[in-house]
Amino acid sequence: MKLLDGKAVAQKILGEVAGGVRDLRARTGVTPTLAVVLVGDFAASKIYIANKKKAGDGVGIASRDFIYPDGLSRPALSTLLESLNADPAVHGILLQLPLPAGFDEDAAIAAIAPEKDVDGFHPQNLGRLLAGSPTVLPCTPAGCLEILDHYGAELTGAEAVVVGRSRIVGKPLAQLLLARNATVTLCHTRTRDLAAHTRRADVLCVAAGRPGMITGPMVKAGAWVVDVGINRLETGKLVGDVDFDSASQRAGAITPVPGGVGPMTIAMLLRNTLAAARRQLRA
Ligand code: NAD
């Protein structure tokens, strides 16, 4: 069994991003800049943002924080996003989800200029992905593909099963696998006999938010298993959606949690920010 070390792959990508940032600054004098918007007091969001900021600092990407723990009115959020869209010194906008109750997340995402949408969630960017001509890829799904590619997974013709159909992970991940010529099955809460699908998977990607739901008997022998889930148990332990101990007995290769997909998401966000800056500067 091969351990798919997302932390190591993320470090490699962050090294490339740091080189790209230096190069861009040398040629244009501009530092790629990410605006981070957090509305509401969400503990997990604060941790994500702190990690993103730290990684951004490490590669030379500047961040500007717009943090509103006590909330913000919907018109004020619209005004903020409009001003960030119009600011040429801001190249990427990260709107941390979830937004507090009462906000229309779809409308807020759609209010971000597509060229500054470094999460790849804007309907225009998702549409381009569906059309087969993406400009920016959603970070977590792109990170899953990077890990599989780094370790040499064969995707063409593979049976790929994705568990979870969220807009940020499952759906775009299924599209990316399809674009790589895998035969894709997308499973969700209404799927009948989930195990019958997962057991067929040469490549099994799980993003359901259910700790340990995929157990060894649900995994095909020799499969590539990518565990996107991040779940904190009452004991404080962080676990994935895959029961690592039993699944790793069957899998040919598997990502750990933590240290698998998580670090990749941040690396892809920063790569997207550098790419957005390059496009906006035409450099
Ligand atoms: P979500 O709640 O929006 O979607 C979960 C999906 O899983 C739904 O489509 C649902 O139909 C499906 N699902 C839930 N229970 C199921 C079951 N028993 N059988 C089949 N399908 C089931 O979640 P999300 O935002 O896509 O996140 C999923 C997980 O990935 C969470 O644990 C989240 O913390 C994690 N996550 C990790 C990263 C990362 O960087 N590694 C990024 C985003 C999300």
Q: Taking the domains of the chain in order of start, what are their residue ranges? A: 29-113, 139-262
- At the fourth CATH level, the homologous superfamily of domain 29-113 is Leucine Dehydrogenase, chain A, domain 1 (3.40.50.10860)
| Atom number of ligand 1 nearest to Cα 257 | 41
Q: What pLDDT does residue 276 have?
A: 98
Check residue 97 and give its pLDDT. Answer: 94
At residue 61, φ and ψ (nearest 5 deg) are -90, 125
DSSP tally for the chain: helices H, then strands E: 10, 11
What is the structure's pLDDT at 243? 98
Which residue of 9, 48, 230 sits with most ligand 1 atoms within 8 Å of its CB, as the best mutation to test the pocket?
230
Flag residues of the chain having pLDDT under 50. Answer: none
User: Could you tell me if the CB of 140 is within 6 A of ligand 1?
Assistant: yes
**Is any ligand 1 atom within 6 A of the Cβ of residue 170?**
yes
Q: What strand order describes the sheet that includes 62-68?
A: 62-68, 33-39, 92-95
Q: Name the CATH superfamily, with its identifier, for domain 139-262.
A: NAD(P)-binding Rossmann-like Domain (3.40.50.720)
| Residue 84 tokens, joined | 């960030």
Distances (CA, A) of 115 to 36, 38, 161: 15, 20, 31
Answer whether 105 contacts ligand 1 (Cβ < 6 A): no
Of 142, 141, 145, 161, nearest to 153 by C-alpha is 145
DSSP alpha helix (H) spans, 118-222: 123-131, 139-150, 170-179, 194-198
Nearest CA to ligand 1 atom 8: 164
Q: How confident is the model at residue 43, as a pLDDT?
A: 87
**What tokens appear for 38 in the block?**
């957090």
Residues 6+ apart with CB under 8 A from 57: 63
10: helix, strand or coil: helix
**What is the rounded distance in angstroms from the CA atom of residue 71 to the CA atom of residue 73?**
7
> Which of 166, 206, 233 to probe ligand 1 with, by most ligand atoms within 8 A of CB?
166
Q: In what order do the strands lie in the sheet with 253-254?
A: 2-3, 253-254, 224-227, 203-206, 159-163, 183-187
Which residues are known catalytic residues? 52, 96, 119
CA of 152 to the centre of ligand 1 (A): 25
189 lines ligand 1 (CB under 6 A): yes
Q: In angstroms, what is the span from residue 166 Cα to ligand 1's centroid? A: 7
What DSSP string runs through 48-107?
A: HHHHHHHHHHHHT-EEEEEEETT---HHHHHHHHHHHHH-TT--EEEEPSPPPTT--HHH
- Residue whose Cα lies nearest atom 31 of ligand 1: it is 209
Question: With contact defined as beta carbons under 8 Å apart, do 57 and 26 qualify?
Answer: no
pLDDT for the residue 83: 98
- Is the beta carbon of 168 within 6 A of some atom in ligand 1? yes
Quick one: what percent of the chain has pLDDT higher than 70? 100
- What is the model's pLDDT at position 44? 86
Number of Cβ within a 10 Å radius of residue 132: 9
29-113 and 139-262 agree in CATH topology: yes
Peptide bond into 258 cis (omega under 30): yes
Q: How far apart are CA 159 and CA 157, in angstroms?
A: 7
Maximum C-alpha span of the chain: 56
